[in-house]
Amino acid sequence: MQTRALRAYEVKRGFGLHDSGKRRSMLRDTLSVQVLLKNYGKERGLDVQEAFSHIIFYCGQCSIPKPFALTGAELDEHVNRHWNGTPYRHPKGTPLIGES
């Protein structure tokens, strides 16, 4: 299964709610990443059809609305639904982030 989608994640503790200014800032940043991510992938030679950005609120207190927010409890289902288990390798053989 090849989805041709790029996804970006930010992890927050999610132990309490944020104030309105911080919520606006987080949503703006998430939307900005989503808008820029598709072009970022294409500039690196990837065949990107869709781009998504999410914030994971690990302890469950979401400060922004779905579909941009995920809780820790929803994480396994989300990963199993959107990841096919095979890390993508750039066509030029560059390592994935975190690999040596």
> In the prediction, which pLDDT does 87 show?
53
First to last CA, the chain: 26
Burial of 27 (0-12, 13-18, 19+ CB in 10 A): middle
> In the prediction, which pLDDT does 1 show?
45
pTM recorded for the entire structure? 0.70
Statement: residue 28 has pLDDT above 60: yes
| Confidence at 98, pLDDT banded by 50, 70, 90 | very low
Q: DSSP secondary structure string, 35-68?
A: HHHHHHHHHTT----EEEEEEEETTS--SS-TTT
